[in-house]
Amino acid sequence: MLLQNLIRSATLDGSIYPEFREKQEFVLQSLATVAITGLASAIGLSSRAKSLNPGSQFAEIQMLLVIFCTIMVGWMMWSFVIKVICNLYGKESELRQSMRTTGIAYSPGILLLFATIPQDIGRYFILIATIWILITVFVSIRRSYELSIIKSVIPAIVGWVMSWILLPFLMVIGPYFNPVVT
C-alpha cells in the first residue's frame, strides 16, 4: 500500500491527496515517506560532507543526523506554512491534515540517494528531486484544499524555500562556513 501511494504521489496523481487529508490512519505512511527522504538525503549528501571534514567519523555521523533531522523539521515547517496560508484563504485546515498530505508528497525524495554519484551528476539528482518535491506538494495543496493555481503556488514556494533552502543552509551548510581563527 505504501509503495503504491508513493508511486501515485510521485506520478502527480492528485486524487491521493484528499484521501490523505481526511484519513488519519495515513499519518504513518506520510511519516515513512519523509523518513525515507531523510535517509536518502543523509546518505546522498554525506558523501559530499566527507570532503568538508575528511577523516572524522564523528563528523560523518553528526552530518547524517543533522541532515535527517533537517528534512524532518523542514516537513513540519512546510506543513505549518501550508496550514497558516490556507487558513488565511478561508480553507479550514489542521496541522495534522497538512502534515499527511505534504508528507506523502515527499515521495520523489528517494532520488536524493543518487547524490552519491560522483562528479557533478549527483548535484543534478538533488536539483531534480527537490523541484519534483515542490511540484508534488503544489499538486497536494491544489487538490487537498481545492485552490486555484495562483493560491496554491504561494504556500508551495514559501514552504519550499524555507524547508529546502533556508533551513538546510542554517543547519547543514552554514556551520561549515565559520572562519577558523588560529
Q: What is the pTM of this model?
A: 0.89
Contact 15, 21 (CB under 8 A): no
Predicted confidence band at 52 (pLDDT cuts at 50, 70, 90)?
low
Q: Is 182 a residue whose pLDDT tops 70? A: no
Average pLDDT over residues 134-156: 96
Long-range contacts of the stretch 120-123 (C-beta < 8 A, 24+): 122/44, 122/47, 122/48
Q: What pLDDT, on the 0 to 100 scale, is given for residue 107?
A: 96
Predicted confidence band at 110 (pLDDT cuts at 50, 70, 90)?
very high
Grid cell of 103 as nine digits: 508528507
Q: What pLDDT, on the 0 to 100 scale, is given for residue 50?
A: 63
CA nearest 97: which of 27, 158, 31, 160? 27
Query: Which comes out higher in pLDDT, residue 60 or 180?
Result: 60
